[in-house]
Amino acid sequence: MPPRRPKTPKSKLDPPAMVQLPAVTPAASTEPKQSHQNFDRAARGVMAKLSGGVSNHAFIEAWSDWAQQMARSPGRQLELMEHAQQNALKLLASVTDRDAEPPFAPKAYDHRFTHPDWQKPPFRMWQQGFLAMQDWWDHATEPMRGLCREDAERARFLARQTLDLVAPSNFPWLNPEIIEATRDTGGRNLTEGMTRFSRDMVKTFSGHRDPAPEGFEIGKDLACTQGQVVYRNDLFELIQYAPQTKQVQAEPILIVPAWIMKYYILDLSQHNSMVRYLVDQGFTVFMISWCNPTAAQAELSLEDYRKRGVLAALEAVCAIVPDVPVHAVGYCLGGTMLAITAATMARDGDTRLGSVTLMAAQVDFVEAGELLMFLDESQIAFLEDLMWEQGYLDRPQMARAFAAIRSEDLIYTRNVQRYFLGREDLPSDIGVWNADTTRMPARMHSEYLRALFLENRLTAGRFAVEGRVIALKDIAVPLFVVGTETDHIAPWQSVYKTRLFTDCDLTFVLTKGGHNGGILSEPGHKGRHYRISHRPKGALYTGPDTWLAQNAPKPGSWWLEWAEWLKTRSGKAVPAPQMGAPDKGYPPLMAAPGSYVFQP
């Protein structure tokens, strides 16, 4: 059977003309007004830097709404009084009967109270008292009649942040693990911790970053799958990986990672590299390596990432491996952009894609998880003023928001380990990658937050590309969609909604783990499982709870299912293609991982 010949529209690389999104800098009718607005923006930009880019307006409004609704709800007040009384009785019982099971337990991701001495007096009383307060505030900030759901979630978040600040585990004289370490080391843990704290503070204010620890060098230990950069523009480098088998699948794979992080999360160490696994399975793999934008690239837009990014990469792949469709893979924000690109291509009759895989990627943002707590008009305007001041949003400013969502583990547990117990973080491949921060260009990030997160245009039928609205239901190629069970960045129920807005053949996988760990689920990884189902084209919709009940978990790695799914859609095996296509303007430029991955 001859290979399918994808159709390419004549105007595939016309100048960008995306629908007009809200500009980063508002227009002004007169010069004095513009000057006054710029003065206001500069002032807010300074405040945003001091607050880490977080606006307090939404949280003040949330507390006000919660307090007003509580003030006119006497029944709710009585209920909370009864709940406080019950918690007090439980505490009293746990103090008088030390052999009884503790009435309050920390959340599954909270590792502050794992030391066994927390179950001994007086530490048990302090621990249980804190958890009892946490339980009461969780109950007090539950949604109630008349209270906006977003305000209830923000009030709960603020209550949790305040409680975490005064948790007994944070204080050396109340934490039995710190007391034990101080006694055993003669106080050396505290002096080493203070030295580490001082060093971290200097690095924070100076922006200095430590080099990768020994054994985690990029290009040698990480991002080390062999290949060549075969195309480069100001936005990205395209890596073609060297074949590891004599015969390869006829149709290549193009991976679109998120530009909120560096690409090598998908080519980490040799044992957990998704790229290496695909190459070993006989696939020809291409990877986009995004630039780390500077202030000079503040005007990069979503349309730039679609047209001069994804489509430019697709054009190169089709030139190097001609006359066959391409299997596109998008991760996180890269998956959202890939879905936009695929819908636009379907609208325009462009048939160069053979399938689309979306990993931990959202197309609908109504249930986008706890990150929505940080987003409203005030917050986005605050971020825009910060980016207007510096030209981009720096990765540490985003990292603070991600860490705050799981502050118990990502902030307080880590700080106690480093500064009170004197323990250095053990280096890991994912830890080194996580510290290798990137920036977000001002215009693109503003468009992304407004058009997708705030206004949810893509699934509301209001997202236009080149002046015309696109629809996800136009996508006709098979979809493979992956969600992860404990993802707090792209909750799996939100990822699952891809099934609601598409009609094509679709395979959905729910795998154990979080946003990164669930995707890095290589064969042989202990304790892994996944659920999988296939929805034929045109089938009726099934809700996420029903789907979960109908699909039992399977042990092992979802990579095996995905590789088989790709193979059945990739044609027969053929000789491996050459590296690049010099005669078509895509010569090998340098060895992988290229140069953009090293941009600070």
Query: Active site residue: 224, 291, 318, 332, which one?
Result: 332
Tokens read off for 590: 């340098």
Q: Residue 382: how many CB atoms within 10 A of its CB? A: 23
Q: Check if the beta carbon of residue 83 is closer than 8 Å to that of residue 139.
A: yes
List all residues 6 or more positions away from 174 whose beta carbon is below 8 Å from its beta carbon.
123, 126, 168
List all residues 6 or more positions away from 115 whose beta carbon is below 8 Å from its beta carbon.
176, 177, 180
Specify the length of the chain in residues.
Answer: 600
Give the CA distances from residue 74 to residues 80, 135, 377, 573, in Å, rounded to whole numbers and listed in that order: 10, 20, 33, 72
Omega of the bond leading into 600 within 30 degrees of 0 (cis):
no
DSSP state of 466: T
CA proximity to 430, closest of 337, 518, 510, 358: 518
d(CA 533, CA 539): 13
The SS3 call for residue 14 is: coil
Q: Check if the beta carbon of residue 228 is closer than 8 Å to that of residue 586.
A: no
Q: Alpha helices, DSSP H only, in 147-239?
A: 149-165, 176-185, 188-206
d(CA 532, CA 519): 14
Instruction: Give the CA radius of gyration of the chain.
Output: 26
DSSP-assigned states of every residue in 68-99: HHHHT-HHHHHHHHHHHHHHHHHHHHHHH-TT
Q: Check if the beta carbon of residue 306 is closer than 8 Å to that of residue 465.
A: yes
- CA 382 and chain centroid, separation: 21
Residue 504 annotated in active site: no
d(CA 549, CA 533): 12
d(CA 117, CA 127): 11
Give the CA distances from residue 274 to residues 204, 224, 277, 519, 534, in Å, rounded to whole numbers and listed in that order: 33, 12, 5, 9, 23
Residue 469 φ/ψ region, left for φ over 0, alpha for ψ in the -120 to 50 degree band, beta for the rest: beta
Give the CA distances from residue 428 to residues 269, 270, 424, in Å, rounded to whole numbers and listed in that order: 10, 13, 12
d(CA 138, CA 173): 27
d(CA 360, CA 340): 15
Residue 370: what residue type? E
Q: Alpha helices, DSSP H only, in 207-321?
A: 274-280, 302-304, 312-320
Q: Residue 11: how many CB atoms within 10 A of its CB? A: 10
List all residues 6 or more positions away from 286 whose beta carbon is below 8 Å from its beta carbon.
230, 238, 239, 240, 241, 252, 253, 254, 255, 313, 316, 317, 320
Catalytic residues: 332
